Structure 1
Amino acid sequence: MAAQSNIKSPENFSFKPPEWQEWKQRFARYRLITKLNKEDGEIQVNSLIYHMGAEAEKILTRFKFDAEADANDYEKVLKKFDEHFVPRNNVVHERARFRRRVQKAGETVEAYVRDLYHIVNKCEYGDRDEHIRDQLIFGIQDKELSRKLQCKPNITVEKAVDMAMYSETVTHQVAAQGKAQALDEVAQKGKGKFRSGKNPHRSKREENSRGACTRCGRKHEKGDCPAKGKQCNKCKKTGHFAAVCRSKGVKEVTTARKW
C-alpha cells in the first residue's frame, strides 16, 4: 500500500446518517492524498470498512450484490453505503425549505449564500444558479437593494452576490464612520466647555447673579431698580440695599431696651 505514514487517518464514522456525506468526503480526500485509490479494489474496500469502524462489518454482511466480485468493487460498495445511510430525497419538501430560506438578522450575505448552495443541492433544479439568484434577491434583509436587483432581469448570480456583499460592506463602513463622528463631536463639546472656563459645578445662585443690578442685586429693566430712593440699613445712604452695600466702616448697633 502506497499510503503516506504521516497522513492522519479520519476518525471512525459515527454511524449517524446525517453525518455520512461529510465523513465520506473526508475519507475521499484521505484516499486521494495517500494514493489508496491506486490500490486494487479489495484493499480499498477493506480500508473503507476498517476506517468506518466495527459496525460497518455488520452492515456490509446485509448488502446484496449482483455478482460476487462486486463485493470488492470500491465504487459499488460505497454506493451500497449511500443507499443505506442517505434516505430517499423528498424533493417537494427540500424545495419548500429552499423557498422559505431568507437572510436572518445579523447573518452575513456570504453565510446566507453558502447555505442556499447547500440546500439547493437537494432540490434537483435544472438551473441551480438561477434559483440561487432569485432566492438571494427575494430573501436578503436589504429591501432597497432587493428592489434594485429586481430591476435587472438579466443579472447573473455572481453579479447579484457581488452587489449584495459590496452593499453590506459599504453599510458597515458608513455605520462605523457615523459612530466615529459622534464620538468626535462629544469630545469637541467637552473641549469647548473646558476652554470657555465654565464650571459645571457652579451653583445656580452664581449663574443667576450674572448681570444683576449692583444697587439691588436683582435683574430688572433699565430704570426700574427697586432700590431707587430707598435707604440702606447698613450705611444709611439712599439708592441701594444692604445686601449689595460696599461700606466697611459703618456697623449697625442694637441695644437692649430698658423698661
Structure 2
Amino acid sequence: MPIGKIHVFDLDGGENWPAYVRLVEQFILLNDIKDNLRVATLVTHVGAPTYRLMCDLSAPDNPENKTFTALVELVKNHLEPKRSEIAERHVFRQRRQGEGESINVFLQKLKHLATYCNFGDQLEVNLRDQFVSGLRSEEIRSRLFAETTLDYKKAVGLALALEAAEQHAAKAVAPAALWAAAGPAGLQADAGERVHRVSVAKQASAAGRDDGPPRRDGCWRCGREGHAPHRCRYKSYVCEKCKIKGHLKSVCDKKNVNVCRSGLKYQNFIETDSSESGSEEFQGLYVIEGETVQNVKDGPYYCELIVENQKVLFEIDTGSKISAVTQ
C-alpha cells in the first residue's frame, strides 16, 4: 500500500504546476518508485482534464511515450509561458502592503511575486528592500531605517515584533477610549440606574454664567502657544486671582469660580489628561476643593451655591463619610 496521497491537479483553478510536480516527486521518493514508473505515477494522479491536455500537447504521440522530465516541461510551457523578467520585477517593485493586510500576508505575496523575477543569490536583498519600502506603517518603517545593519531576517523579525506591539497597545487603549467617550453616563449603578452626565452649557446656564472656560488657540493654562495644556509648566501653579491650581492669573476667568458658604471653591470643569491625544475635555462636573466642610452630628455635608441668582443648599455626595487615606 502506497504511503501518502496525491490530489488531482486543479487545471481550471490555476494551481501551480511546478509545485504539484514537486509533490509528485516526493511521493515517488517516499514510496521508492522505480524510474520506469515515474511517468505512470504522474499520469494516473493528475486527473482526467490534465491528462487530456497532456494528450493534446503530445500529439501525435502519447504522454506515456515521453520521459518524465519532457512531459513535465511540456505542460509547464503551456500553462506558464516564459514571462518577461523586466515586467515581473516591475510588478514586484510596485507591491505595497494593503489596508488591513497583515505583515505576514504582505510578505507571503511579496515572495510569490519574486518567484519569476530571477533574482538568484540576490533574492533576500531584494525582498528586504521591497519589504521595508512597502510597509504601510510609517512608524515601523522609520524604526527599520534606524538600523545600521539590517538583513532580511532581522527586518522581518523586527517588523513583526513592532506590529504585535502596536496591536497590544491598541487593545490596551481601547477601554480607556471607550471610557472617555462614554464618560460617567456610560456607567450603570448596581441598582440599574443610569448615571446621567450634565453638559457644561446647562450647568453654566443654571448658574447664570458663560459657557465654561473660553477656548483659546494656545494653552489655556498660560495663554502661550506651542504646547498642549497637559504639558504646560504651570499645570500645578496656583492662580493668584481665584486661588485655584492649574493656570496663571493672566488667563483666569473669575466667573468660573464661586465660593460656598463653607469657604469651599469649585470649578465647572475637570481635566481629562490624555497622553495619547494630548486633549483635555471640559465635562461640566464640579470639583470641590478648599477648607473642611462642616456637618452636624455626623450628618450629610452641605454647600450653598448660587443658581440663577438664588442661594440653594446642596448636599455633597462624598461617597463615604470618612477617608482613611492621607492627602
TM-score (norm 1): 0.63
Structure 1 residue identity aligned to 2:2: A
The whole-number CA distance in structure 1 between the counterparts of 2:142 and 2:124 is: 20
> Partner of 1:10: helix, strand, or coil?
coil
Give identity over the alignment, percent. 19
Instruction: Output aligned runs, 1:62-101, within 5 Å.
Output: 62-63=57-58, 71=65, 73-101=67-95
Deviation at 1:16, TM superposition (A): 6.1
Higher relative contact order (CA 8 A, sep 6+): 1
Deviation at 1:86, TM superposition (A): 1.9
Note the residue ranges of structure 2 that are not aligned, 5 or more in a row: 208-302, 312-327
Name 2:167's counterpart in structure 1.
172
The whole-number CA distance in structure 2 between the counterparts of 1:54 and 1:61 is: 12
The whole-number CA distance in structure 2 between the counterparts of 1:198 and 1:150 is: 51
Asked if 1 retains the 8 angstrom alpha-carbon contact of 2:89 and 2:117, the reply is yes
Deviation at 1:17, TM superposition (A): 5.9
The whole-number CA distance in structure 2 between the counterparts of 1:13 and 1:198 is: 60
Asked if 1 retains the 8 angstrom alpha-carbon contact of 2:185 and 2:196, the reply is no
Q: Tell me which moved more, 132-141 or 184-193.
A: 184-193
Asked if 1 retains the 8 angstrom alpha-carbon contact of 2:124 and 2:152, the reply is yes
Higher helix share: 1
The whole-number CA distance in structure 2 between the counterparts of 1:201 and 1:78 is: 74
Q: Does 1:121 align with 2:211?
A: no
Residue 133 (structure 2) aligned to one of 114, 127, 138: 138
The whole-number CA distance in structure 1 between the counterparts of 2:147 and 2:131 is: 13
> Partner of 1:93: helix, strand, or coil?
helix
Name 1:104's counterpart in structure 2.
98
The whole-number CA distance in structure 2 between the counterparts of 1:201 and 1:148 is: 43
Structure 1 residue identity aligned to 2:95: R
Asked if 2 retains the 8 angstrom alpha-carbon contact of 1:17 and 1:86, the reply is no
Note the residue ranges of structure 1 that are not aligned, 5 or more in a row: 65-69, 222-259
1:124–1:186 CA distance, 2 compared to 1 (3 A): closer
TM-score (norm 2): 0.51
The whole-number CA distance in structure 1 between the counterparts of 2:194 and 2:92 is: 63
Name 1:3's counterpart in structure 2.
2
**Across the two proteins, how many residue pairs are aligned to each other?**
204
Higher strand share: 2
